[in-house]
Chains A and B, each alone.
Chain A
Amino acid sequence: MSFISTLLEVQFGLSHMGGAIGAGLAAIGAGIGIGQIGKGAVEAIARQPEASNDIRANMILTAAFVEGVALFAVIAGLLAVLKA
């Protein structure tokens, strides 16, 4: 029971925990998203190697978008930690 009572005492730290978990979830989301982009790009290059330059450019562009969204969540997590 002392574990649960410890958890209840940590009320000031709940925002820190929320911020950190949110940033971790954002990392998972970014990983899945950019993984899908990479998978699609590599399969497309395998089907048509001549287009590999165009495909690579589009892949990097789209990956930057997905990463931007994940970093929105990181900023939200940082705000949760810093602004208590």
Chain B
Amino acid sequence: MRLNWLKSFLVATLSLFWATLSTPALANESPAEEKLDPAKLILEHIQDAHDFHFFTLEKKDGTEFHATLPLPVIIYSNTKGFSVFSSARFHHGHEAYNGYKLEEGKIISEDPAEKIVDLSLTKNVVQMLLALTLLVSLMIGIAGKYKRGEGIQSAPKGWQNAVEPVITFVRDEVAKPNLAGKYQKYLPYLLTVFFFILINNLFGLIPGSANVTGNIAFTVVLGVISFFVILFSTNKHFWGHIFWYPGVPMVVRFLIMLPVELLGVFTKPFALIVRLFANMVAGHIIILSFVALIFIFGSMNAIAGWGFSPLSVLFAVFIYLIEIMVAFIQAFIFTNLTAVFIGQAFEGGHEEGHH
């Protein structure tokens, strides 16, 4: 008993000492040379850019060698018309070219009165086009094989073996349970969304590639398309439920159910958008943070940097495996939820049997 009282007393006095007698130790102003900024580094890797940057080496004479693949810049301005040039002319933002400057990854005009529309082939666009080519060539090739009877009268060959179970999975686990009866109409859209998101997720995991699905613009477009598909499958029963929710008093019906149900029409695709975006961005940030930890430790002490790298690489590999699983899961969840919402839009007539 006395020992407990003594311990509490010691804790109290020490906390008081710390809270009142401590002096603030402000961070020193370090010399402005090569200060490592991990947040900026990580954000640079997640955002879109005008070139593919693979790695940077420091040469013996102190200059840096950037292994990059510069991408074409296409700008339409209301004064100069179309300009097409390679982004290498910007020299990573150090030089202006033809009246345009690269600042923080965005192209701005040196003339403030000029309005420009940036239509460049950036990292995300090029990776989306690559995924598109892969998807279309793969699927058309496989469909051609099925048309010729391979895989129906004989055993499936080549890529059919990999793709057929996935298509069967989407048809039997996602489309049929949720869209009973009308699943044939929606299967092309569901399969397209599933494979496009999956291929872009998997491409985004390759080091040096672009983070397409972690880009809010990409997910917004997918969400809006799903929103319109859902909207065009609605029937009278659906809108009846929103404006005249059955089984509640009139006050509740108009004051609560109507706004809630109307908002619900919009929040469901919004959740789809943010879920895909947040999962992909968070995964990439985690992987990049583990790798950046090596550099953070390294900037404090070179030995600590080297010593910590095996641990960091181990964690990064572990998170990579989880991210591969998340790539599949997020594609599946987007497709599954779209199918569920479409099913909810045209279901109906289940009340009449109850009373």
Contact = CB atoms under 8 A, between A and B. Distances in A.
Name B's interface SS.
helix
Contact of B24 (A2, A71, A74, A75): A2
Given A2-B24, A75-B274, A61 B336 contact: yes
Contacts of A4: 19
B344 interface: no
B22 interface: yes
Interface string A14-52: 000000000000000000000000000000000000000
A75 B333 contact: no
Nearest to A73: B278
Given A60-B329, A61-B333, A68 B20 contact: no
A16 to B, nearest CB: 11
A74 B24 CA distance: 30
Nearest to A23: B282
Bin the interface of chain A by size.
Answer: 10 to 19
Interface string B6-23: 000000000000111011
Most buried by B among A1, A6, A64, A75: A64
B127 interface: no
A75 B20 CA distance: 36
A68 B219 CA distance: 14
A2 B22 contact: yes
A21 B22 CA distance: 24
Contact of A2 (B23, B278, B282): B23
A2 B25 CA distance: 11
A43 B329 CA distance: 23
A64 B334 CA distance: 11
A79 B333 CA distance: 25
Contacts of A2: 20, 22-24
Interface of B: 18-20, 22-24, 271, 274-275, 277-279, 281-282, 326, 329-330, 332-333, 336
Interface of A: 1-4, 6, 60-61, 64-65, 67-68, 71-72, 74-75
